[in-house]
Amino acid sequence: MRLVALASLLLAVAVSALGNSQQGFNSELSFDEYTEQSLLWAPYRPNCYFGIRPRNVDQSPFMLGIMWFDNSDASGLSRIRHFVEQGDKLQKYGWEVYDPRVGGREVIIDEANNLNLTIYFTKSHNGENWAVRVHGEPLDPERGSAASVVVYFNQNGQDGQSRLKKIVGDDSGKMLFHGVSKELGEYQLTVRDNFGSYYSDPGLPTMEIVPGCDSSKTAHLSMTVPDENVWMARDVFLSILSDSVKQIVEEKGAEAVNPSLFPSTFTIRNLYDFPAGNFHYLQKSFDNSSPEGFEFDIIYNALDTKERITSIGDVANLISGTINHVETKFAELFALEPKGEQYHSFALETLSNLLGGIGYFHGTQLVDRVTIFDDEQFEEVKLQHATEEGPLSLFTSVPSRAFFPRGFYWDEGFHLLQIMEYDFDLAFVICSSWFDLIEADSGWIAREVILGDEARSKVPEEFRVQNPNIANPPTLLLAFSEMLDRAIKNQESSALEFPGPVDDEITAQKQTSQLENNPDLLLKYAERIYPKLLKHYNWFKTSQKGLIEEYEEILEDEGILEKVHQEEAYTWRGRTINHCLPSGMDDYPRPQPPDVAELNVDALAWVGIMTRSMRRIAHVLSLKDDEAEYQKIENNIIENLDLLHWSEEHRCYCDITIDSLGDGRAFVCHEGYISLLPFALKLVPLDSPKLKHILSLMSDPEGIFSEYGLLSLSRRDEYFGTAENYWRGPVWLNINYLCLDALTYYFPAVVSGAAEGLSPEESQAKQLFVSLKESLVNNVFKNWEERGYCYESYDQYTGKGKGIEHFTGWTALVVNIMGNK
C-alpha cells in the first residue's frame, strides 16, 4: 500500500499546522497532501550525477538526465560523465546544500574535462513546477577546452496519450517543448541560455562540418527510445555519435581531424533520419576559455498551475530561497560540536548528500524461490532459479550513489535515524515505502531491493537475485519504534499546541514533523500496517531459527537446559565458509568450520530488538495481549543471551557451536562488534554485572579502542586485518553510533556536565564517551577536509577512509554524533 492510499484513513485528522510561507505550501494541507506536493519532484535518480523523475508516477513519468564531456579533444568521449562512477576520479561531486522537498546545490569538479559544474535544483512554491540551473566554469581557461553538456529527457508512456514535442527553437539556444503525461497532465518544458558562448573558431567561415554538426549552435535530436531503455541514454548517444564521427571521417578525410572542428565532429545529429519521438537530446558545446563560463536553465511548468516559473529572475529567486531555507533549518535543528565554519559546512554537506541519495525506484526484481539451503553445504550460495516479479516501487535513500545506488534493508534503518532528526515525516514516508514491500503471505522483504534494469546495471550479477530464506538485520523496525516513541512522548507530555503565525523556519519545521507532533496520524498508520509487521516478524524468526535441539544433552550436562528458552535461538541462513552476508558484517570471523548447530549471538540480538519494537508498537496500539507476549519473548531472549552466548572465560558475548568432539558447547569468541551488539542494542539489563566487562572491552587500547573509533575486531584476534579486511578491523560509523547511544542509555552521566560524585564505572563510561565521540568526528572530518568525501569505513591503522568513497549512507550519522537539538 502506497502512502497516498492512506488518504481515506486520514481525512478526519487533517493537520492545521502552519505552512512554510517561504516555500509557499498551503498551511491547511493535510499530511498526505503536503507529502504528495512537496515530494513529487526531485533528482530521484541517485545513480546519475544529475537525473530527475517524479515520485509515485509509474506509468508515464517524465525522465531527465545530464551528461557532459570535452568535445574539443578526440579522446573526450572516453571521459563522458553520466552515471556516478568512482573510476571517473572526480575531484569532487555531490550536494553542498539539499533538501528533497525544496531543492539545493550540487557541485562537481571534473579536472579531466576542465570543468567546474554547479547544478541547482529548485521548485515553485506549490511544488508542482521546477527549474534546473546548470552553471559551468573552466578550471583552467588557458587549456582551450570545450564544455559539451548533453541534456536528455523523455516522456515515458506507451499509452498513446503521452507525448513530448518541440514547438519552438531558435539560434539563441532557447527551445520550448510541449508534453502530455497521462498521470502528470500537460506541461511545458523550456530550455534557455542565460550566458556563455558556443564553441567556434573565428578563422573558419563555418563550424558546420556536415549538415547538423555545428558546435556553434544547440544540437537537437528527437527520436523514440523504449521506456525501459531510457536509462541507457549514454550508450545510445555514444553509439549514434560514434557512427556519425566514422562517417564524417570517411567523407571529409583530413578536414575531419582539424582540431578547430573537433567540437562539431563530436556533435550529435540525426544520422539515420529517425522520426520525431518522445525522447530528446540537446547538446550545447560551450567555449570553455572564458572565466565567466556559461549558464542555462531547464524549466518545467504544469499548464494547469497558477504559479509558473517564467524568467531568469524567477529561477534566481527560487534558488536563493531554497538555499536559505535549508541552511537556516539545518542551523536551527543541529547544535554542532565542535563549532566552526568548516565543521558546519562538513555537517551540512554530509547530511545533504544523504538526502541527495534518496531515490524513487520502480520495476521488477529477480527472486529465486526454488533454492533451499542445505544445512550441510556452506561452500557457496548459488541462486540459479531467478524469475522476474513485480513491478514494485520503493522510495529510499541509498548507501552510496557511486557503488550502491539501490535499497539496502539493513542500511536503511541507520539512514532513517539520521533523516528523522532533520525531517521526521520524510523518514516516515521512506519507512512506510519499505513496509509496503512486505509480502502479504510470507512476510518477506528482500535484503537488497533492486528494481528494474537501471538499478540492476549497477549490481554485479552474482548479487542481483534475492531469496526469501536470506534475511538482514531488521533495523527498519528499530527506526520505526523510535518514531513511535518520540511521537508518544509528545502526546503524553500534553504540552504541544500549535501557535499562531510565527517565524518561517519554525513553521517549516512543524510542516515536516506533523506526525511527530500529531501522533494520531502515525498511530493510524501503525494500526493499518501492524498485521504486515507481524507477518514480517514471524518470517524473520522462522527463517533464521537455529537448531537448539542439537544442544539438549550438552545443556542438560551443564545443568541449564531447563533455564534456556529453546524457542529463542537463531542462526544466519545463507552463510558460507568465508562470509556471512545476511548478518551485514560480511567477513567477520565466525565458527570454523560452519556447522548446522551454529548459533549466532547477533542473530539473537537482532530478534531481540525486533521483538522490543513490536512490543512498543503493540503498546501504543493498546494491544495488551500482544504486548504481554512480546514482553515475555523479549525477556526470554535477554536471558538466552546470557545463558547461551556469554562466555565467562572471555567475558564477552560469543557465537557458539558444538566442539569438534561433539560432546560440548564451544564458545567462538572474536572480540569486536559482534561481542558488543547486545550492549549496543540495549539488551543487557541495566543492573547487569556484565556492563563493567563490556566497558573494559570498549576502552581497551590494546583491543578495539583506537584514536579513530571502535575497531570492528580486536587487535589481538588472529583474524585482525586479514584476507579482505572488511569487518576485521576497520572502523564503521553505524556500530560506533549505536555504542555511543547505548553509553548514554546505561550511563546517563556521560552527557551531563558533572565530573564529581560519579562511580568508577560512570567515570570510565564518561571518559570513553567523550574520547570516542571526539575520535570519530575528528577522523571523519579530517578525511573529508583532505579528500572531499565520507567513506564506507576507516582504516584501523591510519584512520584513512577506505572502501567506497562518497559513502554518505550511515556514515552520515557523524552529524548526529556532532549533535542535534
Which residues does the annotation mark as catalytic? 586, 792
Task: Give the span between the Cα atoms of 40 and 616, in whole angstroms.
Answer: 32
What Cα–Cα distance (Å) separates residue 627 from each residue in 15, 483, 617, 637, 638?
A: 30, 18, 8, 15, 16
What Cα–Cα distance (Å) separates residue 571 from each residue in 411, 466, 600, 605, 612?
A: 20, 19, 5, 11, 19
By CB neighbour count within 10 A (0-12 exposed, 13-18 middle, 19+ buried), where does 177 fall?
buried
State the cell numbers at 204: 573558419
> Are the beta carbons of 347 and 93 closer than 8 angstroms?
no
Residues in CB range of 528: below 8 A, 6 or more apart: 1, 6, 9
Task: Give the span between the Cα atoms of 282 and 273, in whole angstroms.
Answer: 16
Q: Angle at Cα 129 formed by Cα 127 and Cα 135, nearest 5°?
A: 110
Residues in CB range of 103: below 8 A, 6 or more apart: 42, 120, 121, 122, 123, 130, 318, 319, 322
* Chain mean position to CA 638: 32
Task: Give the span between the Cα atoms of 510 and 720, in whole angstroms.
Answer: 48
* Chain mean position to CA 296: 29
DSSP SS3 for 579:
coil
DSSP SS3 for 18:
coil
Task: Give the span between the Cα atoms of 288 and 304, in whole angstroms.
Answer: 39
- Cα of first residue to Cα of last residue in the chain, in angstroms, is 34
Residues in CB range of 294: below 8 A, 6 or more apart: 135, 136, 147, 193, 195, 196, 197, 284, 286
Q: How many CB atoms lie within 10 A of CB 121?
A: 26
Task: Give the span between the Cα atoms of 47 and 726, in whole angstroms.
Answer: 24
Task: Give the span between the Cα atoms of 4 and 582, in whole angstroms.
Answer: 32
**If we measure between CA atoms, which residue out of 25, 61, 160 comes closest to residue 393?**
61
Q: Give the bridge partners for 362, in sequence order.
A: 393
By CB neighbour count within 10 A (0-12 exposed, 13-18 middle, 19+ buried), where does 201 fall?
middle
> Are the beta carbons of 270 and 221 closer than 8 angstroms?
yes
DSSP SS3 for 742:
helix
State the cell numbers at 33: 497532501
Query: Could you give the maximum distance between any two Cα atoms of the chain, in Å?
Result: 97
State the cell numbers at 603: 542473530
Would you report the helix, strand and coil content of the chain in percent, each value rounded to 5? 40, 20, 40
Task: Write down the residue that cell numbers 522483504 correspond to.
Answer: 445
Task: Give the span between the Cα atoms of 230 and 220, in whole angstroms.
Answer: 17
HSE (CB half, 13 Å, CA atoms) of 63?
Answer: 29
Phi-psi sector, 725: left (phi>0), alpha (psi -120 to 50), beta: left
Q: Give backbone dihedrals phi and psi of 121, rounded to 5 degrees, phi first.
A: -125, 130
Task: Give the span between the Cα atoms of 521 and 136, in whole angstroms.
Answer: 45
Helix-helix angle 475-493:424-435, to 10 degrees: 130
DSSP SS3 for 565:
coil
> Strands 465-466, 359-368: parallel, antiparallel or unpaired by DSSP?
parallel
> Strands 359-368, 294-302: parallel, antiparallel or unpaired by DSSP?
unpaired
